[in-house]
């Protein structure tokens, strides 16, 4: 296990199309997070899961955005009817709420490489 | 929701000088205080973190100090080097991020 994995890394889509991103967290991490980041800004929290339960969702997340984590492992983030304003990097991250490793005493959030979305 | 503010938004120092970035937060229940470094086009990387039962933590040239009463924590970088140039983010409780501080270290 080499860390949080995201794909695709880059996606160019036409306005109005749907896109889906996938995130595979670090194994045994029960928490998974999605963020959006645009140039010059900090990561903006979108939603997070503990196992398969979606515990929090940002008010900034419009109805066109949906995230799932059906089996408590990988997660998908779907954007429907994309708009140019959706162009950003979508970051996934994971953490373990229960410390299992001495060097990772819980709560530390590890990020994936991100998925760049360009809506044209 | 949590309000997170970072200051300054940009910081330019001479190589070898120290840099300090401050983060204030509003949620008194926060108990985990990380700092992330992000280089252009890359993911945020954790550089140091502290938990609420500790007031200070140091790792070589980097330190974090926490004042829970005043609800702020700070990142301290000593003997700065050009490779420290990046954007630094605080994220109290690990979920809400500050807007970032762009640090430039001039050789």
Looking at residue A102, its pLDDT comes to 46
Looking at residue A106, its pLDDT comes to 57
Q: How confident is the model at residue B91 (pLDDT cuts 50, 70, 90)?
A: very high
Looking at residue B1, its pLDDT comes to 62
Looking at residue A104, its pLDDT comes to 52
The residues with which A50 forms a beta bridge, in sequence order, are: A31, A53
Q: What is the pLDDT along chain A (120 residues), one digit of tens a residue?
A: 469 999 999 999 999 999 999 999 998 888 999 999 998 889 999 999 999 999 988 887 789 999 999 988 999 999 999 999 999 999 999 988 655 554 555 578 899 999 999 999
Token representation of residue A106? 């819980």
> What whole-number percentage of chain B has pLDDT above 90?
79
CA A74 to each of CA A26, B74, B98: distance values in angstroms, whole numbers, following the listed order: 9, 34, 27
Residue pair A4/A23 in contact (Cβ under 8 Å)? The answer is: yes
- The CA distance from B80 to the nearest CA of chain A, in Å, is 22
With beta carbons under 8 A apart, name residues in chain B contacting A111: 43-45
Looking at residue A97, its pLDDT comes to 62
DSSP letter (8 states) at residue B98: P
Q: Give the residue-averaged pLDDT of B72-91.
A: 97
The β-bridge relationship of strands A53-57 and A44-50 is antiparallel
**Kind and range of the H or E element at B67?**
strand B62-67
Q: How confident is the model at residue B41 (pLDDT cuts 50, 70, 90)?
A: confident
Residue B42 pLDDT exceeds 50: yes
Q: For residues B89 and A116, what is the distance between their CA atoms, to the nearest angstrom?
A: 20
Q: For residues A45 and B49, what is the distance between their CA atoms, to the nearest angstrom?
A: 19
Residue B2 pLDDT exceeds 80: no
Residues 6+ apart with CB under 8 A from B38: B44, B45, B86, B87, B88, B89, B100
DSSP, residue by residue, chain A: --S-EEE-SEEEE-TT--EEEEEE--TT--EEEEEEE-TTS--EEEEEEETTEEEEE-TT--TTEEEE-TTSS-EEEEE-S--GGG-EEEEEEEE-SS--BTTB-S---EE---EEEEE-
* A-chain residue closest to B10, CA distance: A40
**Torsion-angle region of A52 (φ positive above 0: left; ψ -120 to 50: alpha; else: beta):** alpha
Testing the interface with A: which of B7, B35, B44 to mutate, by most A Cβ within 10 A?
Answer: B44
Q: For residues A107 and A110, what is the distance between their CA atoms, to the nearest angstrom?
A: 9
**Cross-chain Cβ contact A109/B99 below 8 Å:** no
Q: Give the residue-averaged pLDDT of B67-92.
A: 96
* Phi, psi values for residue B21, rounded to 5°: -125, 135
Q: For residues A43 and B91, what is the distance between their CA atoms, to the nearest angstrom?
A: 10
Token representation of residue B101? 């501080």
Looking at residue A72, its pLDDT comes to 86
Residue B10 pLDDT exceeds 90: yes
**Cross-chain Cβ contact B89/A43 below 8 Å:** yes
């Amino acid at each position: 296990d080499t860390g949080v994995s995201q794909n695709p890394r880059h996606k160019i889509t036409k306005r109005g199309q749907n896109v889906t991103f996938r995130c595979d967290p670090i194994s045994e991490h029960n928490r998974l997070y999605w963020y959006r980041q645009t140039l010059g800004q900090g990561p903006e929290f979108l939603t997070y899961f503990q196992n398969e339960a979606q515990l929090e969702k940002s008010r900034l997340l419009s109805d066109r955005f949906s995230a799932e984590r059906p089996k408590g492992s990988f997660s998908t983030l779907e954007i429907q009817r994309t708009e140019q304003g959706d162009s950003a990097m979508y970051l996934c991250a994971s953490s373990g709420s229960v410390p299992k490793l001495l060097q990772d005493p819980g709560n530390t959030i590890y990020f994936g490489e991100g998925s760049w979305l360009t809506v044209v | 929701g949590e309000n997170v503010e970072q200051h300054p938004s940009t910081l330019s120092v001479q190589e070898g000088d120290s840099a300090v970035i401050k983060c204030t937060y509003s949620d008194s229940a926060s108990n985990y205080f990380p700092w992330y470094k992000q280089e252009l086009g890359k993911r945020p990387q954790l550089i140091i973190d502290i938990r609420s039962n500790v007031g200070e933590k140091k790792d070589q040239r980097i330190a974090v100090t926490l004042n829970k009463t005043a609800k702020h924590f700070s990142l301290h970088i000593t003997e700065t080097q050009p490779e420290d140039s990046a954007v630094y983010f605080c994220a109290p409780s690990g979920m809400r991020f500050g807007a970032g501080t762009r640090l430039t270290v001039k050789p």
